[in-house]
Amino acid sequence: MEKLSRHARRLRAALVLVSLAAILAAPAAALADRDGDEGDDRGRPEHLTCPDSKSLVSIDEQICPSNSRRGVVVHHRKCCKNPAGQVHCDHFPHCPHNSPS
């Protein structure tokens, strides 16, 4: 088997590095565009909106205190008013035992 030239070795190393960078960047790019389509507000009150026929009354927040396994977690919920005047608030999710990440 012949040895590869210096140029071929550098080209092969460059291709390996580019492939590795693409593999590492792909999951980050896939996760960066998540909007919380499952109804999860992800702790961001700017994503809490009501359906078309309802109006937003308030946004409440619940603070889960820190423990030895995670820091402070803040949950938000929306309260919407329908055209008949009834107000309905979403439920707060449970406080996690471990770090949500």
Give this prediction's pTM. Answer: 0.49
- Condensed to tens digits (0 to 9), the pLDDT of residues 40-82 reads 444 465 678 888 889 999 989 999 888 888 888 888 899 999 9
Tokens representing residue 76 in the block: 């938000």
Q: For 2-35, write each residue's pLDDT tens digit.
A: 677 888 888 888 888 888 777 776 665 555 544 4
Q: Are 32 and 42 in contact (CB under 8 A)?
A: no
